[in-house]
Chains A and B, each alone.
Chain A
Amino acid sequence: MPASARPEPRGYSGLPRWLYIPAGLGVLFVLVPLVGMLTRVDWLHFVPLVTSDSSLAALRLSLETALASTAACLVLGVPMALVLARGPARGRRWLRALVLLPLVLPPVVGGLALLYTFGRLGLVGRLLDVAGVQLAFTTTAVVMAQTFVSLPFLVVSLEGALRTAGGRYEAVAATLGAGPTHVFWRVTLPLVVPGLASGLVLSFARSLGEFGATLTFAGSLGGVTRTLPLEVYLQREIDPDAAVALALVLVVVAAVVVGVAYGRRLAGAVAA
């Protein structure tokens, strides 16, 4: 990691020196493959490769669906985090375990679960089919798959922020005559804006990289459900140079998202 320009005054850290060896290895483990990929990029044809119709369609679809699923995470995840952080204690452990399930579940399994629920013959999909609505293998399905896997990221980071903020400001606001809804908009949410921003960025990044659940539930239809990761995987079989070029685009987009919107807050929010 690059050292900062001016070392901050430090107290005794108690960090064993040998710890830097595995830590450095870890950094290399992440960094070297990225460099390895860079060496395989066909720079001569890079621009035509990433601006081909299929590439641009995949990129646009990825950005659109990732934004849509981030919005869905916002609408569903904020209330979930609030209920987990402030709601009745009973059943909270079970609820949290359930919310975290998509985080540990292989995405393919999540995709299968969505398929057997919202697919044409699924539990809910059957009813939707009668109503003339089909979800599986549509762009909506892409957004659903992404939301399914990204939701825990938002919920976890926001719940941590809410716990850190504590409920004291809300209590004061209530004694000043503010009803629960007013307190939510004017006190609770503004106080956790940094945590919320972290959660949203994490969700967006996770949505952008979604592959397994999307492929299973939404398939890989060009321009409809084939997001950038799916396009990369497809091109790997057909045109490895295009795959590498697109992969680089994904890396850059991810780095920009995390770097610009997130900055140095990443570490703190994940720890919380």
Chain B
Amino acid sequence: MDASVRDRGLEAALDVRDGETVALLGPNGAGKSTLFALAAGLLRADAGRAVLDGRTLFDGSAGIWVPPHARGVALLAQEPLLFPHLTVLDNVAFGPRAEGASRKAGRQAAEHWLGEVDAVALADRRPAQLSGGQAQRVAVARALAAAPRLLLLDEPFAALDVAAAPALRRLLRRVLADRTALVITHEALDAHMLADRVVVLDGGRVVEEGPTAELLERPRSRFAAGLAGLNFLEGRTTAPGRLHVEGLGDVFGTGPAEADPALPGDDAVAVFRPADVAVYPSRSGLAPDVPQGSPRNAWRAVVEELEPRGPQVRVHAATPRATVVADLTPASAAELDLVPGAVVVLVAKAAAVTVYPA
């Protein structure tokens, strides 16, 4: 698929292989939902084309546009949108019936798919009598019963409470295993559990893509790094394992063990975990406070925000270049008397910083 929509500033190309689940990540307004609407046929692209299983869905230059009902692309939105006037069973039978199945065949298909999502007991209920999690499960069954060649899931957990989300996530992991599907999500967990591959969309363009584990471990975009919970600095390599970041000076790190190191002169990124950042008080300048020893990075920073995170406290501190986050125990945060506006020194050992090509 390769499409552009001028009004929404979208210009993206995307490829999903047969049987593959791809997670679509990106900040709000990145164009994820627009891309879905284009694929489903609910919005017309100004230019571009999309092909599904060798069949053209739309092609701007050839003037081809297949209406949504003839595409075999099912859409599962944040809200289940079950038809309120139909029972659960009839909702699930809707797709097969629309394709011309007899009443009996439609019921059988519906019962089968309700079984797949463990919702047979709900068959005779009306959508108004379902909880959010139940309704979303039925919506999954309804989408699957339509036998789509491509399944689009637009933040399927967003409208669910935290208690209902894990069960649906496991369910989707099971049913998406061999399916061609695209999932919009804001959670690294969803990407890990559901997707083989991740595509990061920003400003209507694909900024990064790759296998899920690799991309979240070695993010090349700030958004993916944030999603993976990693600190992220961009710069230019000056020597192997050394990155020059404007405003911060040289950052010392190590090349990735399994991949090509960045060569001098390459655009590269440095990535490190918040747990690997130590925070020291800054009393009289930089040098005296920083422990010497193994190669390490030290940056002066101003504390912006403290955020409780489970047993830890996450410190957001602004360096001259970027905000770096560090995880501390509440005790050390108290001992350091950290408050927004406090000046600190952030230290990260070179061994904990990975530098690789952008």
Contacts and interface: CB of A to CB of B under 8 A. Distances in A.
B40 A173 contact: no
B239 interface: no
Output the residue of A173, A175, A179, A183 with the most chain B CB within 10 A: A175
Contact of A177 (B42, B69, B83): B69
A176 B142 contact: yes
A177 B147 CA distance: 9
Output the residue of B41, B69, B142 with the most chain A CB within 10 A: B69
Nearest to B94: A176
B230 interface: no
A177 B98 contact: yes
A177 B146 contact: yes
A180 to B, nearest CB: 8
A174 B69 contact: yes
B75 interface: yes
B279 to A, nearest CB: 49
B74 interface: yes
Interface in B86-122: 86, 94-95, 97-99
A178 interface: yes
A168 interface: yes
Interface stretch (A14-22, A28-36, A185-193): A185-193
Given A177-B146, A191-B85, A186 B94 contact: yes
A178 B84 CA distance: 17
Interface residues of B, number: 28
Contacts of B83: 169, 173, 187, 190-191
B98 A173 contact: yes
A187 B67 CA distance: 17
A35 to B, nearest CB: 42
Contacts of A178: 69, 94-95, 98
Contacts of B146: 175-177
B184 interface: no
Contacts of A173: 83, 94, 98
A179 B69 CA distance: 6
Interface in B124-169: 142-143, 146, 148, 152
A171 B42 contact: yes
Contact of A175 (B40, B84, B97, B99): B40
Given A179-B98, A182-B98, A174 B68 contact: yes
Contacts of B74: 175-176
Contacts of B86: 190
A174 B67 CA distance: 8
A133 interface: no
Interface of A: 168-169, 171-180, 182-183, 186-187, 190-191, 193
What are the 5 A-B residue pairs with the smallest beta carbon separation, nearest first? Answer: A178-B98, A174-B68, A176-B95, A176-B146, A175-B75
Given A171-B42, A176-B146, A178-B94, 12 more contacts: A171-B68, A173-B94, A174-B42, A175-B146, A176-B69, A176-B94, A176-B95, A177-B98, A179-B67, A179-B98, A183-B69, A187-B83
